[in-house]
């Protein structure tokens, strides 16, 4: 009679074999680049304050995600600051 651990291991071996045959995801080492990180953060900031970016806003978000750190910090502060 097999115990629960052996039965689970046998079922996982097919999945592991499939995962081993798949190519690794194409991600840069160290995570997203600064512009991608700012773009994601900007989306999160906007939605966090109840502003859902429209399709026409994507260009502006992409442009703002490429500015230097000090400028981005100011823009982020304008969005998230409570008065």
pLDDT tens string 25-74: 666 677 789 999 999 999 999 999 999 999 999 999 999 999 999 999 99
pLDDT value at position 79? 92
37 vs 26: CA distance, rounded Å: 16
Residues 64 and 78: their CA atoms lie apart, in Å, by: 13
In a domain, 8, yes or no: no
Q: Does residue 57 lie within any of the structural domains?
A: yes
Phi first, then psi, for residue 76 (nearest 5°) are -60, -40
Report if pTM > 0.85.
no
Q: Is residue 65 part of a domain?
A: yes
Alpha-carbon dihedral 35, 37, 43, 49, rounded to 10 degrees: -120
The reply to whether 63 falls in a domain is: yes
Domain with 53 in it: 34-80
Is position 74 within any domain?
yes
The answer, yes or no, to whether residue 2 has pLDDT greater than 90, is no
Residue 3 counted as domain residue: no
pLDDT at 31: 78
10 occurs within a structural domain: no
Q: How many domains would you assign to the chain? A: 1
In a domain, residue 39? The reply is yes
Rounded Cα–Cα distance for residues 72 and 30 (Å): 21
């Amino acid at each position: 009679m097999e115990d629960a651990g052996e039965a689970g291991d046998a079922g996982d071996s097919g999945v592991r074999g499939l995962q081993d045959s798949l190519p690794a995801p194409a991600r840069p080492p160290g995570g997203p680049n600064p512009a991608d990180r700012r773009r994601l953060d900007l989306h999160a900031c906007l939605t966090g304050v109840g502003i859902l970016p429209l399709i026409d806003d994507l260009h502006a978000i992409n442009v703002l995600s490429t500015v230097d750190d000090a400028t981005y910090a100011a823009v982020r502060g304008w969005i998230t600051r409570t008065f």
